[in-house]
Amino acid sequence: MRPSAVSVLFFGCLVLGGCTSSSGPESLMAGLPSKETTSSVTPSSPVPQANVGSDPIRAQPRQEVLAWGGPVPDAPKAFSAITPQATLPQAAPEIRLPVAPQAEVMRPAERPVQMAMAVAPAAGAGAQIRSRIFRSGFSDAKPINFGKVQPRHYQVHGVDVSRWQGEIDWERLRTRGANFAFIKATDGGDHLDPMFRTNWARAKAAGVRRGAYHFFYWCRPASHQAEWFIRNVPRDPDALPPVIDVEYNGESACKMRLPRAKVLEKMQVFMDMLERHYGQRPIIYTAPDFYKDHLSGEFLNYPFWLRAVAQHPSKVYPDRKWLFWQYSGSGLSHGVEGKIDLNVFNGSEEAWHRWVRSAG
């Protein structure tokens, strides 16, 4: 989810003295689009326009060992629904990430999301088709050798998409291995991805488990951004938890670099508002440089989705348990023209089904 190029007339604004940021409160009231966009790839063809109207889209027993081999926290946490010890061919020890006890910073009173009881998969042909896991048929324009533990060793693969993937054939994409998808919804406080509504509806119709993500803009109040996301992303019991995408964006009109404490404070405000509204603890997506500066050792009760396109996450984020790994921004697949981000879930098929039930 790297940012796309943005044309900014920043210095012209300074000279004229009459320009305001298109991500400011004035632009929100005026309905102007944000300059903040994010994507891992650039469009290979004109981006289709889509209807983005407002019509809506129609206690788990405690596990002794988590999917990656780490201990279960004492209270209900973000990972409490993961099944015991996922099995990965030969290389399982590589992804067993020991985590030293660390005190959480800036945590308000705990409000753990209630975890669903583990039950057998729902009966019926429709439920069986929806829960089917397709093996990965993705290829990569820039393949990487990750060492002993490769993405292919994981059983559940998925993608993340935005407007830059254009019109997606979701049925074909699912059979190629997109068992889940994180779909770009919003960024800042006034930008809605023009393909969000279309992708949101079509992914569900194809049986793809999907969640929405928000690209966080550091020059806007966190509460404004949460309100904007809530306004545009339906509350769907079939949806995966919402995602906050936090990273540096060198091409953004907002060049602000906040201190660590302020970053954590803004993230907490945003995530608390989403958790109250959707009843799901948000997932945090981030990249190595931002993680190192702000998130190492923080938010231990939240699931993480980590970008690591050159090494396994255990090498890049040695102190972090993770739920999703984005391993490529140059994936190739039938169903999408051009490139697409590729991801894996950290666990077995059984762990996936248990986590989906508890996350809902």
Note the pLDDT of residue 46.
43
Burial of 242 (0-12, 13-18, 19+ CB in 10 A): buried
Return the closest-CA partner of residue 188 out of 266, 109, 296: 266
- Pick the catalytic residue from 160, 190, 275, 341: 160
User: pLDDT tens, 184-204?
Assistant: 999 999 999 999 999 999 999
pTM score of the predicted model: 0.69
Active site residue 247: yes
Looking at residue 65, the DSSP 8-state letter turns out to be B
Alpha helices per DSSP H over the chain: 10-16, 25-30, 125-131, 170-175, 196-205, 222-232, 260-278, 288-290, 313-316, 349-359
Backbone angles phi, psi at 17, to 5 degrees: 75, 5
User: pLDDT tens, 31-86?
Assistant: 444 343 333 333 333 434 333 333 333 333 433 334 443 443 444 445 545 544 34
Contact 288, 269 (CB under 8 A): no
Contact 37, 191 (CB under 8 A): yes
In the chain, what are the helix, strand and coil shares in percent, each to the nearest 5?
A: 30, 15, 60
Q: Helices 260-278 & 222-232, crossing angle to 10 degrees?
A: 30
- What span, in angstroms and rounded, lies between the C-alpha atoms of 259 and 57? 39
Q: Would strands 340-345 and 324-332 be described as parallel, antiparallel, or unpaired?
A: antiparallel
User: pLDDT tens, 281-321?
Assistant: 999 999 999 999 999 999 999 999 999 999 999 999 999 99
Looking at residue 183, the DSSP 8-state letter turns out to be E
User: pLDDT tens, 109-124?
Assistant: 333 333 332 333 344 4
- Pick the catalytic residue from 247, 275, 298, 341: 247
Active site residue 74: no
